[in-house]
């Protein structure tokens, strides 16, 4: 009952933010909450070497309305971050800390001026349902210079659905690690710098 109430409350937040949802969108939103609003201690789960899967492609517009296609960067290591943006632009403490971690790593491996020259591609996917959340402001205040996508902007949540298998049982925020062969090889919730460094090293 507690989890159901929480989801209901979040749906009310979305309505107050001025988002109109039909039955399909409501169902998709509830599915997204199942994968992104989980709470618990940080975990680190590694896929079996025999269970590697090709990463689902991501075709979307970023928060600056520029086209993005993930498979365009096949051949490069990729770090995907999935996180929830709450009404009013509120973020979980772990999300803010993870932004800082990724910002530190991106300064070493990511070239914002010439992304194709980057050693690692960083992408953040959020679900922001409220008009009161300013994603551009969030990006600026948290040093996000890599691709930032709102999966709710087209009301489809197709990215979260495509990665739902990998996000299952991971709390918000979550990380997905993709190797140069475009295979998902690791996934993790918020972790300390040492563990994150090790996970990134495995895809280099």
58 with 143: CB under 8 angstroms?
Answer: no
Range of the domain at 138: 2-203
State yes or no: cis peptide before 173, omega within 30 of 0. yes
pLDDT at residue 156 in the model: 82
Whole-prediction pTM: 0.78
Q: Which residues, 6 or more positions from 68, have their beta carbon under 8 angstroms from its beta carbon?
A: 58, 59, 60, 61, 62, 123, 147, 149
CA atoms within 13 A of residue 109's CA, in its CB half-sphere: 20
How far are the Cα atoms of 73, 92, 102, 202 from residue 196, in angstroms, in the given order? 21, 18, 9, 10
**How far apart (Å, rounded) are the C-alpha atoms in residues 173 and 190?**
6
* Total domains, the chain: 1
Q: Per-residue pLDDT for the chain (204 aa), expressed as one digit of tens each?
A: 443 334 334 444 444 444 444 555 545 545 554 444 443 444 444 444 457 899 999 999 999 999 999 999 999 999 999 999 999 999 999 999 999 999 999 999 999 889 989 999 999 999 999 999 999 999 999 999 999 999 998 888 899 999 999 999 999 999 999 999 999 999 999 999 999 999 999 999
Distance of CA 19 to the CA centre of its chain: 21
CATH number at residue 164: 3.40.30.10
Q: Are 161 and 169 in contact (CB under 8 A)?
A: no
């Amino acid at each position: 009952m507690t989890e159901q109430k929480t989801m209901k409350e979040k749906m009310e937040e979305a309505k107050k933010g001025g988002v109109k949802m039909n039955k399909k969108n409501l169902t998709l939103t509830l599915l997204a909450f199942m994968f992104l609003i989980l709470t618990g201690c940080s975990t680190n789960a590694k896929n079996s070497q025999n269970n590697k899967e090709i990463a689902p492609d991501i075709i979307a517009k970023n928060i600056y309305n520029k086209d993005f296609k993930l498979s365009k960067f096949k051949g490069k290591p990729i770090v995907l971050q999935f996180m929830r943006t709450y009404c009013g632009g509120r973020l979980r403490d772990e999300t803010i800390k993870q932004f800082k971690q990724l910002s530190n790593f991106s300064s070493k491996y990511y070239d914002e001026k010439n992304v194709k020259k980057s050693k690692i591609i960083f992408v953040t996917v959020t679900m922001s349902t409220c008009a009161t959340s300013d994603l551009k402001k969030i990006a600026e205040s948290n040093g996000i210079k890599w691709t930032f996508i709102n999966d709710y902007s087209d009301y489809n949540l197709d990215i979260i659905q495509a990665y739902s298998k990998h996000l299952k049982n991971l709390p918000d925020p979550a990380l997905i690690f993709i190797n140069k062969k475009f295979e998902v090889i690791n996934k993790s919730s918020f972790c300390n710098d040492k563990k994150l460094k090790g996970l990134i090293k495995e895809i280099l």
